[in-house]
Amino acid sequence: MNKKEIKACIFDLDGVIVDTAKYHYLAWKRLATEMDFDFTEQDNERLKGISRMASLDILLEIGNKNLSDNEKEKLAAKKNAWYVDYIIKMDTTEILPGVLDFITELKEKNIRIALGSASKNAMTILTQIQILDYFDAIIDGTKVNNAKPDPEVFLKGAEALGIDPKNCVVFEDAEAGVEAAINGKMRCVGIGSPAVLGKANLVIPDFNNFSLQQLNNTLVKVKPLPF
C-alpha cells in the first residue's frame, strides 16, 4: 500500500467552502461604528481564520479601546447576533465555485470528509447551504480549546474519521490554518494566493476544475512528503 495515499480531506469553512468573511466584516464594522471608530476591509483580513474573541481583541486594538472581560463578552455576543442574522439567510448559491463537484467526487471515491473550522456557527452555515450530510465528522469552534495554528482542530478531525494524519489533506485559506495543518503533520492545499499561503504543499485559486486526480498527481506522485 502507498503510505502517502490520500484517505481523508479536511476542509476549513470560511474562505474555502463559503465566503462568510463578508458577513463577519459587516458585523464587526457595525460594532466599530457603534464605538465611534473606523474598521476597514483591509483590517478585516487580519481576522480571517482566528477565533471570535481573538478577532474582538484585534478590533479593540484598532479602536484603541481597553475593556473588561465582561464588557468584551457582551460585545462579542452582540456582534455574533448580527452575524447570525446574515448567515441564517444563506443558501446553496453561496457555496464557492467547484466545491460541490470536488466533494461529490471525494464521496464517490470513498475518501472520508471532515470539517475543521474555528467557527462556532459552522453547523448553522452547513445546514443553510445544505451540505451537512457530506461530512463524516465535524470539528468546529465548539469542540476545540486551542486556535489555529495549533493543530488541534485538524487532529481531532483525523481522529474522528479514524485516519492517520499522514493520509489526510487539509484545505485552508488562512496562513494560521496552513501552519496548523503542518503542525499536525498533514499535507495542505492553500486556497487563495501563493504570496500568503506559500507554506502549503499546493496553492490553488479556487476549486474550479480541481479533481482528486490533480490532488494525487501533485501530493502523492510528484512531491515528497515534507516529514
Q: Which of 15, 151, 190, 192 binds Mg ion (CB under 5 A)?
A: 15
Task: Determine which one of 12, 43, 140, 173 is catalytic.
Answer: 12
Q: Give the residue with the Cβ less far from ligand B16, 121 or 201.
A: 121
Map residues 53-82 to x or -, x wherever contact with ligand B16 holds by CB under 6 A: --x------------------------x--
Residue 50 binding result from Mg ion, ligand B16, none, given CB thresholds of 5 to 8 Å by partner type: ligand B16
Q: Which does 98 bind (CB under 5 to 8 A by kind): Mg ion, ligand B16, none?
A: none
- Of 6, 8, 9, 13, the one binding ligand B16 by CB under 6 A: 13
Closest CA to 2 of 188, 181, 161, 167: 167
The most distant pair of C-alpha atoms in the chain lies apart, rounded to whole Å, by 61
Comparison of 127 and 213: residue with beta carbon closer to ligand B16 = 127
Q: Would you count residue 175 as binding ligand B16 (CB under 6 A)?
A: no
- Reduce the DSSP state of residue 214 to 3 states and report it: helix
Give which of 214, 163, 159 is closest to 189, Cα–Cα: 214
**Of 6, 8, 23, 24, the one binding ligand B16 by CB under 6 A:** 24
Q: Considering beta carbons, is residue 196 or 220 the nearer one to ligand B16?
A: 196
Closest CA to 121 of 168, 81, 176, 61: 81
Q: Which residues contact 30 (CB under 8 A, 6 or more apart)?
A: 79, 82
Pick what 121 binds: Mg ion, ligand B16, none; C-beta below 5 to 8 Å, kind-dependent: ligand B16
Interior angle at CA 166, CA 162 and CA 169, nearest 5? 85
Assess 128 for contact with ligand B16 (CB under 6 A): no
36 is catalytic: no
48 binds ligand B16 (CB under 6 A): yes
Burial group, residue 59, by CB count within 10 angstroms (0-12, 13-18, 19+): buried
Q: Which amino acid is at 172?
A: E
190 binds, among ligand B16, Mg ion, none (CB under 5 to 8 A by kind): none
Of 4 and 143, nearer to ligand B16 (C-beta) is 143
Is residue 43 flagged as an active site residue?
no
Environment class of 46 (CB within 10 Å of its CB; exposed 0-12, middle 13-18, buried 19+): middle
Residue 157's SS3 state is helix
Cell 499522514 belongs to residue: 166
By annotation, the residues acting in catalysis are 12, 14
Residues that bind Mg ion (CB under 5 A): 12, 14-15, 49, 173-174
Residues that bind ligand B16 (CB under 6 A): 12-15, 24, 47-52, 55, 80, 117-121, 141, 174
